[in-house]
Structure formats: C-alpha cells, structure tokens
Amino acid sequence: MWNTIDFRFISGPLLLCGFLLQMSAADLPSNVWNAFDHKVAVRDSSVRSDWAGKRTGISPPLDIPLVLSGNFGELRTDHFHTGLDFKTQGKEGFPVLAASDGVISRVKISPFGYGRALYLSGPKGLTTVYAHLQRFTPVIEQWSLDKQYAQKHFALDERPSHFFVFDQGDTIGWSGNSGGSGGPHLHFEIRETSTQKPLNPLLWDLPVTDRKAPELKGVWLLPTEVGSINGSSRPVKLEQGGLVVAHGGFRVAIDALDRLDAANNRCGIYKAEMHLDDEVIFAWELDALDFSVNRDMNAHAYFPAWNATGEQVHRMHRLPGNRLPIYTKQTTSGVISCDANEKCQHVLTVRVWDIHGNAAENQWDVVFKSLAPETSSCEEALERRDRSKTHVLSTAKGEITVTCPAQAFYEDFSLDFAPIDSTSFYIGTSAVPVSQPLQVALQGGVISGDSEDGCTDQTAVRFVDEYKEGGAWFSGECQGSTFSFSTRQLGRYEWSVDSVAPRISPHRRHLTVQDSVLNVATGNELRFNLEDSGVGIDDFSAELDGEWILMRWDPKRERIWYDLGDGRHAKGKRQCLIIEAKDESNNRSRWKGWVQF
C-alpha cells in the first residue's frame, strides 16, 4: 500500500484531463476501509510457460549473435510490428542467409517501407521475408536491374517467373538500411504462404535468449460516462497495486513492455490476461497477425496514452471496430461493474508474459460504491454518432464539411470541427484514432492567401501538432473555390501554399570551376541531392545523352544516385545529363549539365 497520494498530470490531447491517483488506507473513510474484505487472488506467475522455440525448420538469417531491437507484436505507428528486427552492430553489409530451403517468390524495391526486400517461399507452407537489404545476391541484383531499366522506374515489385532457388544457409543478400529503416538492421518475418499472414518468428527455435521478466508499469482505469475512479471521472493511471474505489463501471488498459537479455531496447509483450477474482475475463496473445486489419492496432492500444507518449498501452477490452484475430477471451463491452445495490468488491489481477515464459503480475482491490459523487466535465458533451452509418457533417456556416464513411471510427463517436482563425482549423482531437479516411471539403471563404483564384494546384494543408510545429502535408483537389483532401489524422491544420519546386543539386564531390560541368573522378556513383520542402516528391527521372538511367532514391537522406556499375555511361567522355522532378503539387524543376566520367 502507499503512504502518499501522487498526482501526475499527463500531457497530450485528452490526457490533460487524466491523472495518476494512488490511495492508501489513510486516504479513505474508515467505514469504507473496514467494510472491505481484503481478498488475495491466487498467484501462479511463478509457474513458467515457455512458448518460444517449440517449432523447428527455420535457421538464423544472420551468422552473428542475434540481438533484437524490435520484436513481433510491438506497437508501432498505425500497426503492430510483424517481424523481428535484428541488430547488425551499427553496420551494413553482413551476409543475409536463407532461413530455409526455398525459391524467391517476390522481389521488392521501394524508397519507403521495407526498402530492398526478398520473399523466400519454402516447401513447408512458410515464406520468410528479409527487408531493408543493402543489395541482393548478384543473380537477383542483375535481374532486378534489368527490370528497372525495362520499366524505366526505380520502384519494383515483381514475382519472378525465373526460379531463383536457394538452400538453407545460402547467402541471398546483404544487410542494409534501405527504405523506411531508421538505422542498419535486418527486418525478418515468417509468413504463412497461403494467406501471407505473419507469424511470430520466436515460436521457432532461433537462438534468442531472454530471462528478463516483462515490465508491468501500471494500469489505466477508464470510467464510463457516469462512473468515477477514486473520486475522479477522468482516466486514472495506477502504477502500483492497491485499493481502488469505483462508482459505476470502468474499463481497463495496461502499460506493459518487455526487454531481452542482450539489449535494453523496448519490445512488446507476448500475452496478457485480466482476472476478476478467479475468472479470466479478457486475454490476448500474439501468435499471428493479419495485414488486412493490422491498422486496428490503433483500436487495441489505449490511443490517448499511446499517441501522446508512445507508451506500450494495451486495452483489456475490445472496441466494436477492432477486427484483430488475437483475442482468446473477451467480454462484449469490457466494462467492470457491480450489480449490487449498495457496494461490492472484487480483486482485479493483470498478468503479462513474454514469449520465453517470463511473467509479471499485479493486482488491485476494487470496492464499488453505489452513490456516484458529483463530477464536473472538462468539456461539453457532443452528440455521439453511430459508427455503422455514413455521416456528412458541416459547420453552421458551411465553411467546412466532413464526410465520415461507415466504419470510419472504432466506436460510436463525437466529432467537433471549426475554423480557428483565417489560416487554421481543427477537426476533432488527435487522441482519437481513425480507421477509414475522412473526406474534408473547405469552402473558398476559409482559404487565405494572396491567390485571386482561392484554390489552385499549389493549395495544401499541413498538420500541426500540439506544440504548433508543422507535420505532414496534405495535397488535394480544387473544384471551383472548394479544396478537398482526405485524411485519417485528427487535430489542427494550417492552410499553406506549396509553390516551391523540388531542389536538385549535385553533391559537392562532383563540383568543378564550371557550374554546369561535373566530374566523376573517384568513387562508384554519381550523386545528387533531391529535396522538397512541401508536400513531397511525386516523381523524378534522369537521362544521359538522351537515354534513361536509373537513379536510386533514398528520401530519408534526400539523395538520388546513379551507380557506375550499371555501365550506362561512357568512360572518358563528357555526357549531357538532364534530371527532372515534380512534387505532389505539380511544381517542377530541372537540372541540366555535363558530366565527365
């Protein structure tokens, strides 16, 4: 129990109204404390259940110690992580090995996401995926290059008709940092070939050790509209076990994570159970996921806390729009309440496990009181709308219209939106996740700027976070003076005009005394910087003496380059190079000059 009450205000949308509240015997009227029969739940978390390594047939994809920076089921932005992230000692270029016998069924190259990725389909109905590669084995590298030149496009997504067959342990590529990777590592997946559903790779006997118990950092108790927890009608986080006084019903979310032996990176837990007295009332485990509904992670997470802090906060109840296939025990509403007229009591126990069977648990004594205390709301209640229907909503003056398609939200919703001033407006709060895109139409009277036309190809909006810093840009369409765009992001937006074309500039190593003449005397590439300060690059191309050449693209480094190994240039000759780029607002730029190879 506690000797003090600790209030901690949590910043972020909606969490401005939520706080941490811990209570001890001294903080309660004696009649409440004495009337409570302090039950002790049966604890069995010392009994170890180990799910890892029970399956065989998959070998390590790297010949270095396997150290995880991320695991299967970890909460990521808009998705669960669907594989394992293996550290590569901060370097690129380690051989990546076939984890089973198989044939390359898919080759993908993208400036985003998985970057350079290979899909190896094996004989036992499993496909292994290797992502963020630096390069492929030479035969696949040449095949991919030929495809890129034939299609005159950098991005590639092909299923080879030619058989690239590998035995388990063969080198299929080299580790890298391509695509959306934030640092050198190998992203590794195991999928069911027939459905492409990702499976938890640690169910196989990979040499990854873990003797550390998960960290159960606390629970969030979420009162119903007429309920309260320890006197508060707002969400309450309890970091330790103890006594809870509830009026009305509440739902539960847990803050839990895992760390493995070899590194202190934050990883996700594998399994969670919630018990009310001796009965399991909610449970889930992460054996498999489904890409088609993986965005519903936003419904599984307690989104206000996840969005504001990045904490691994899992709901221990299921929202109506949550389609995830991970739940092994659930109740319809997830509300914990008491049917007794005056008071009743329960023991609430939460247990969490990692896949290696390490466990943690905590419990709370819950006493219900029937008389609800007076509460005050942080904001006026808005009309709640049926999520199963399409709603077309407008401001009183018609400046903003928002179309919410059926199933756009994970539960029945309220949506407030309005202009803030002549340059900004808001749509709801960023603490609410959106499943299906909303269509937003803004009338010409709302649009600011010097353009006489009001709405042009360069009109855009930009999301602004709680610190009023600019975030993602959104382009859209103009119909007369109405600008329309699509978004899944609620919160504040600002009007903007993206009239600046992409910037193309050669790397300084190639510069000569003549501005339009470059020299490639050393190295194995011709590199340019490609930057855009607005809505983002839409497309680009390059020609050398009138012939298309492949420029690789790494948007996170704002870099494009031609690899001299392609052999599409003439050594010892000065050649004319033209690079053209356009952004999503149709601003175009062009660089023309000469290159001496």
Q: Indicate if the pLDDT at residue 371 is higher than 70.
A: no
303-351 pLDDT, tens digit per residue, is 999 999 999 999 999 999 999 999 999 876 789 988 765 568 999 999 9
Rounded average pLDDT over 45-73: 87
| 63 falls within a domain | no
Same domain, 279 and 245: yes
Percent of the chain scoring above 70 in pLDDT: 87
- Please tell me which residue, 269 or 379, carries the higher pLDDT value: 269
Q: Indicate if the pLDDT at residue 1 is higher than 60.
A: no
Same domain, 178 and 254: no
412-424 pLDDT, tens digit per residue, is 999 999 999 888 9
2-48 pLDDT, tens digit per residue, is 333 332 333 333 333 344 444 444 444 444 444 444 444 334 444 44
Burial class (CB in 10 A: 0-12, 13-18, 19+), 565: exposed
pLDDT at 561: 98
381-398 pLDDT, tens digit per residue, is 678 999 999 999 999 999
| 420 falls within a domain | yes
Predicted structure pTM score: 0.89
Same domain, 336 and 233: yes
79-120 pLDDT, tens digit per residue, is 999 999 999 999 999 999 999 999 999 999 999 999 999 999
Same domain, 83 and 16: no
| 270 falls within a domain | yes
- Please tell me which residue, 566 or 375, carries the higher pLDDT value: 566
Same domain, 215 and 327: yes
Same domain, 142 and 20: no
Query: CATH number of the domain that 463 lies in?
Result: 2.60.220.30
| 379 falls within a domain | no
250-290 pLDDT, tens digit per residue, is 999 999 999 999 999 999 999 999 999 999 999 999 999 99
Percent of the chain scoring above 90 in pLDDT: 78
Same domain, 431 and 537: no
463 DSSP β-pair partners = 493
Same domain, 159 and 283: no
In degrees rounded to 5, what are phi and psi of residue 549?
-125, 155
Pairing of strands 215-223, 250-257: antiparallel
pLDDT at 8: 30
Q: Indicate if the pLDDT at residue 451 is higher than 80.
A: no
pLDDT band (50, 70, 90) for residue 460: very high
Q: Which domain holds residue 487?
A: 391-497
154-198 pLDDT, tens digit per residue, is 999 999 998 899 999 999 999 999 999 999 999 999 999 999 999
Angle in degrees, CA 185, 130, 126, rounded to 5: 140
Same domain, 563 and 458: no
Angle in degrees, CA 275, 279, 281, rounded to 5: 60
Query: Which of 538, 534, 508, 513 has the alpha carbon at shortest distance from 523?
Result: 508
pLDDT at 162: 84
Q: Indicate if the pLDDT at residue 141 is higher than 60.
A: yes
- Domain boundary (186, 203, 220) is at 203
192-232 pLDDT, tens digit per residue, is 999 999 999 999 999 999 999 999 999 999 999 889 999 99
Contacts of 42 (CB under 8 A, 6+ apart): 278
Cα–Cα distance measured from residue 344 to residue 363, given in angstroms and rounded to the nearest whole number: 17
Query: CATH number of the domain that 537 lies in?
Result: 2.60.40.10
pLDDT at 380: 59
Structure-token match 């009965």, residue found: 279
Distance between first and last Cα of the chain: 75
Cα–Cα distance measured from residue 483 to residue 477, given in angstroms and rounded to the nearest whole number: 6
| 376 falls within a domain | no
Same domain, 170 and 76: yes
Cα–Cα distance measured from residue 197 to residue 106, given in angstroms and rounded to the nearest whole number: 15
Same domain, 447 and 336: no
| 331 falls within a domain | yes
In degrees rounded to 5, what are phi and psi of residue 519?
-125, 125
In the chain, how many domains are there?
Answer: 4
Same domain, 354 and 405: no
Mean pLDDT of the chain: 89
